[in-house]
Structure 1
């Protein structure tokens, strides 16, 4: 229990104890003036009744205040839930956009690598053909030189 609740209950119990212990004095009739009218009634009971009425008024006020706070809290909770859902959707959208961007970058890089590989393969094939042609030309020159010198007795096998 909070300190405020304890103080409130102690006050209520003190009022109840004083009223019970001093009931004859509270119930004793006396002259009561309302400004216009004067009449005889137990002043203590009137004051005790007004104190009870004031207590009921404050309880109703506190309950209505607490109810309005609960309603406001519920409204804020709903608004926060809507904002959270919007933020989640925005984050999911950013992730989707990031994935699409990364996929596009991957496809572009893949296409670039394939194009470069094709280029290198064509270059390698051209170099291999050029090398084969050079080797064949050298072998042809060697055969020609051997024939022209008269060393026809040694057969040369071309491996091209």
Structure 2
């Protein structure tokens, strides 16, 4: 039990013990003024009855407060659970959107890489054709020079000592 509950039980036990020890005085009648009339009754018993009534009202109020707090806590728990569900769905939606976005980006990059591969292959083909053309031109030029040298040799334009 908590300290306030123990303290309340201790006070009630002290009052009950006090009333039991002084029961004769509590039940002895006396004249009591109610303002407009006078009543002959035991004051101690009246005070014990009022104490019991106030204690009962206090306990009823405590039960009411605890019940309302419990209902409020349950309502908050349901709202929290609903909000948690919304947050989970939103998070899942964001993950789905992110996955779709990443897949689209990867597909885009793949397409760009394919395009860049195609462009690179086309560039390599162009360079290869240019190289072949250059090699062919060099071969033709070399063949022309050799043919010219052969013509000169045949015509005797080059002295034999150089041969």
TM-score normalized with structure 2 length: 0.81
1:55 positional shift: 0.7
1:92 positional shift: 1.8
Gaps of 5+ in 2: 154-163
Instruction: Within 5 Å, give how 1:34-113 maps onto structure 2.
Output: 34-113=34-113
Q: Between the two structures, name the one with larger relative contact order (CA 8 Å, sep ≥ 6).
A: 1
Structure-2 residue corresponding to 1:25: 25
1:146 positional shift: 3.1
TM-score normalized with structure 1 length: 0.82
Q: Secondary structure at the match of 1:41?
A: strand
Q: Secondary structure at the match of 1:31?
A: strand
Gaps of 5+ in 1: 152-160
Equivalenced residue count is 152
Give CA-to-partner distance per residue, 1:60-116, whole Å, 9 cap, x none. Answer: 111011101111111111112112221222222222222222222222222112111
Q: Distance in 2 between matches of 1:131 and 1:68?
A: 91
Structure-2 residue corresponding to 1:15: 15
Query: Which sits farther off after the overlay, 123-132 or 133-142?
Result: 133-142
Q: Does 2:123 correspond to 1:118?
A: no
Query: Which sits farther off after the overlay, 55-64 or 92-101?
Result: 92-101
Structure-2 residue corresponding to 1:136: 136
